[in-house]
Amino acid sequence: MKKSVVILEINNQSMVRGVGRYTQLLKQALEGYTTEESTLINPFVNPILWPTLWMHHATRQIGILHDTIPLKFPHHFPIGMRGHLHVVLHRTYILGLYNILVTHTQASKNDIVRFFNPACPITVVYPGVAPLGASQKPSHMLPPSTYLLYIGDVTWNKNIVVMASAVLKAGIPMVVVGKAMARPPHPTDPWQKDFRTFSALIQDNPLFIKAGFMPDAQVRWLYEHSLANVLVSRDEGFGLSYIEAGSVGTPSILSDIPVFHEIADDAALFVDQNDPASIAAAITRLAHDTSLRKQLGSAAKKRSNFFSVNRFIHEFRKLLP
């Protein structure tokens, strides 16, 4: 008898835009799908949080572990004694409940092996990125005719202070989009230390437009009309904005780190993420070199086609019995 695939319902406020989109995509890929064995999928295995799965509920259990960034940079992501206990629980018991762990990139897989070395296989399945839909011009926020775009979170790994310093050097406006951008930084949260510095740096500066959350149609319009998508993170599990920008032919300025070379191949302008002058030089170069901007945008569009929803569905279903 065929059995339905069960996806755990995760209601966790720590899920950011990329994880939320991934969970939606997973539900779309497996809705109504049946398998030979009972199968349970946990779409958000986070080793620093209290486990969401404590026992075997199905013959095959698959966990999605998005990244291990807080463990790689403990000084910038303090997790406390409770967080360390959760990590030990995952390392010694919880990850053993899964038949397969899935992650987004080979770079993330390497990190998972380094920190946990689980007994079960770790499979890389690149996320599919759904189209953003029809473009809609924002009604409440119109950027200048030439602007850069940042879409993402505000944690230390996003490197937003160095990014802002580079924008100030280049003198080209930037629209910053994200749910966290719409709120003031928490005054004491150590995970928001960089956000506090960033907020002070851009306060009352006309070069920066804080857009907060925006619907997909307006996000697409911003991508389409921007000079470049800027993602100069210190580390990432994937790189959603690169794929989204590329899907509409917008070039990206990316950090020169392994995960972005894996995702973008050579279809981006790579910079030293620790050097504002390097980032500013790349911004200025794109602003003045129309031919390069078109070349990189075209290459990014071709590269983004690899991360299709259909390919993700096909690859993920291969993991099911």
Phi, psi of 318 (to 5 degrees): -65, -20
The DSSP element (H or E) to which 256 belongs, if any, is: none
Q: What pLDDT is recorded for position 293?
A: 97
Mean pLDDT over the full length of the chain: 93
Task: Look at strands 3-7 and 34-35 and give their pairing.
Answer: antiparallel
Q: What are 223-246's pLDDT values in tens digits? A: 999 999 999 999 999 999 999 999
The answer on pLDDT for 14 being more than 50 is no
DSSP 36: S
Q: What is the pLDDT of residue 110?
A: 98
Decide if 44 contacts 64 (C-beta within 8 A).
Answer: yes
User: What pLDDT, on the 0 to 100 scale, is given for residue 130?
Assistant: 87
How does pLDDT run across 76-89, given as a tens digit for each residue?
Answer: 999 999 999 999 99
pLDDT in tens, 95-144: 999 999 999 999 999 999 999 999 999 999 999 998 888 999 988 777 88
pLDDT of 16 > 80? The answer is no
User: What angle (nearest 5°) sits at the alpha carbon of residue 24, between those of residues 33 and 184?
Assistant: 165
Note the pLDDT of residue 182: 86
Q: Residue 33: which pLDDT band, with cuts at 50, 70 and 90?
A: confident
Q: What is the mean pLDDT of residues 313-318?
A: 94
DSSP state of 147: -
pLDDT in tens, 189-222: 999 999 999 999 999 999 999 988 899 999 999 9
At a CB cut-off of 8 Å and minimum separation 6, what does 189 contact?
Answer: none
Phi, psi dihedrals of residue 239, rounded to the nearest 5°: 140, 60
What is the signed CA dihedral for 219, 225, 227, 232, rounded to 10 degrees?
10
State the Cα–Cα distance between residues 280 and 269, nearest whole angstrom: 12
**pLDDT for 31 beyond 60:** yes
**143/208 Cα distance (integer angstroms):** 9
Percent of the chain with pLDDT over 90: 81
Q: What are phi and psi of 155, to 5 degrees?
A: -75, 170
pLDDT value, residue 17: 60
The token pair at 15 is: 């899920």
Distance between CA atoms of residues 53 and 61, nearest Å:
10
| Rg (the chain; Cα; Å) | 20
pLDDT at 248: 97
pTM: 0.93
At 312, list the tokens.
């993700």
Amino acid identity at 50: W
Q: Tokens for 40, please give them.
A: 């349970």
Residue environment code for 232-243, b if the CB has 16+ CB neighbours within 10 A, otherwise e: bbbbbbbbbbbb
Question: 52-57 long-range CB contacts below 8 Å, 24 or more apart?
Answer: 52/8, 52/10, 53/8, 53/94, 53/97, 54/94, 54/97, 55/97, 56/97, 57/6
Domains of the chain: 3-126+308-317 (no CATH), 148-304 (3.40.50.2000)
H/E run at residue 249:
none
SS (H, E, C) 174-232: EEEECHHHHCCCCCCCHHHHHHHHHHHHHCCCCCEEEEECCCHHHHHHHHHHCCEEEEC
Residue 13 pLDDT level (bands cut at 50, 70, 90): very low
